[in-house]
Amino acid sequence: MRATALLAMTGQSIWLDNITRKLLDSGQLAAWIRELSVVGLTSNPSIFEKAIVGSSDYDSQIRPLIAKRMQSEDIFFECAISDLGRAADLFKPIFERTGGVDGWVSLEVSPLLANDTTATIAQAKDLHARAARSNLFIKVPGTPEGIPAIEELIFAGISINVTLLFSKAHFSAAADAYLRGLERRAVAGLPLGKVSSVASLFVSRWDRKTAPKLPTDLKNTIGIAVSRECYNAYCALYASDRWLALEAQGARPQRLLYASTSTKDPTLSPTMYVEALASPRTVNTMPEETLIALSNGSSIPTVLAPSDCSWRTTLDAACKAGLDLKACAQELQIEGRDSFNASWNQLIAKIDAKATVLAS
């Protein structure tokens, strides 16, 4: 049995962290759904930059949009919605079979709106309406300005993938926004089971940032420790009276999603984060390379238990070594936001350049 199937049997959902038109046209995505237990998909501006700008696959769609004098940002969203709509349709049987637990795809609002609550809400509503898919998440960053947008969008019935989370505090803020949105729906007499969410915790960026600051025995351990701390908090939250009251009214839990789970250090196993974070009722979204490496493996050595507190020892040792975990988490969120902004600006600039070539 493939390790991907074994991981799915632990109760963790495997989502692909990639989308290209070639994946759809070639049947590769459909094959991974059949053979590698892939039950969902995420995307971000960096992924689309490589897909749209790095190939001619989108040229036939872009040409008539140029003729309509459409701006580059709108051209991007037209291309992205086209791909993600097809992917959502491909995953729809899984969405229906699992009662909306899996079968999701994700479309991100412009990263440039990360510090603008009102604009984030407006664009999220517009993209949700344009995509017109019940199994499509709108990705919203869990920044201080994004948190109130998440609450408002959940209240409006729009399912959200909360991105750019790096710590227990970030996860708790995202979860609280989700619960507040649900509670407002309950007060308003609106159905709770029609809206869903995941909270995307970035893992490997912790180790890339902290490795130069830590002794050898602590290098490449912080991402896993922080993720396990968040899993502990996640399990506690969904055993709380607050959650159980909402669940009794039909609410769905906001699942913890492990993102950025490819190893950046070539000396490490490509499946290190996947194996360390196998845990029930969660999601792991993997790049193609990590998915293939996992499928070629033979086992999932352990399954994380809610009572596991081994992370405490690691994080305590890191603090004693001089690492300020709270400050690092905030820096990582800002750096992640800035990285997405840079990718977005590069994407739009390259679409501008491609449009100029195609128009001539």
Question: Could you state, in order of their start, the residue ranges of all structural domains in the chain?
Answer: 3-359
| Residue 34 contacts residue 11 (beta carbons within 8 Å) | no
Contacts of 117 (CB under 8 A, 6+ apart): 145, 146, 148, 149
Round to whole Å and give the CA distance between 162 and 200.
Answer: 6
What is the reported pLDDT for 298? 73
pLDDT tens digits for 205-237? 999 999 999 999 999 999 999 999 999 999 999
Residue 215, token pair as written in the block: 């002794």
Determine the residue type at 165. Answer: L
Under DSSP, the state recorded for 131 is H
**Tell me, what's the pLDDT at 337?**
94
Angle (nearest 5°) at CA 304 between 336 and 141: 20
Pick from 218, 233, 203: which is nearest to 323 by CA?
Answer: 218
What is the predicted pLDDT for the residue at 54? 76
The SS3 of residue 199 is strand
Question: What is the pLDDT at residue 50?
Answer: 79
Contacts of 224 (CB under 8 A, 6+ apart): 203, 272, 273, 276, 277, 311, 314
With a CB cutoff of 8 Å and minimum separation 6, the contacts of 45 are 108, 111, 340, 343, 344, 347
| Pairwise CA distance, residues 202 & 192, whole Å | 27
CATH 3.20.20.70 fits 3-359, yes or no: yes
**Residue 215 confidence (pLDDT):** 96
DSSP type of residue 189: T
* DSSP, res 284: E
From first to last of its 360 residues, the chain has per-residue pLDDT tens of 899 999 999 999 999 999 999 999 999 999 999 999 999 999 888 888 878 877 888 989 999 998 898 999 999 999 999 999 999 999 999 999 999 999 999 999 999 999 999 999 999 999 999 999 999 999 999 999 999 999 999 999 999 999 999 999 999 999 999 999 999 999 999 999 999 999 999 999 999 999 999 999 999 999 999 999 999 999 999 999 999 999 999 999 999 999 999 998 889 999 999 999 999 999 999 999 999 999 998 788 889 998 889 999 999 999 999 999 999 999 999 999 999 999 899 989 988 888 888 777
Q: How far apart are CA 219 and CA 71, in angstroms?
A: 45
Alpha helices for the chain (secondary structure H): 3-9, 21-25, 28-35, 45-48, 59-67, 72-97, 117-131, 146-155, 168-187, 204-210, 222-237, 241-247, 272-276, 288-295, 310-320, 325-359
The whole-model pTM stands at 0.96
pLDDT of residue 280: 96
Catalytic residue among 22, 139, 264, 320: 139
Q: What pLDDT, on the 0 to 100 scale, is given for residue 354? A: 82
**Does residue 139 have an active-site annotation?**
yes
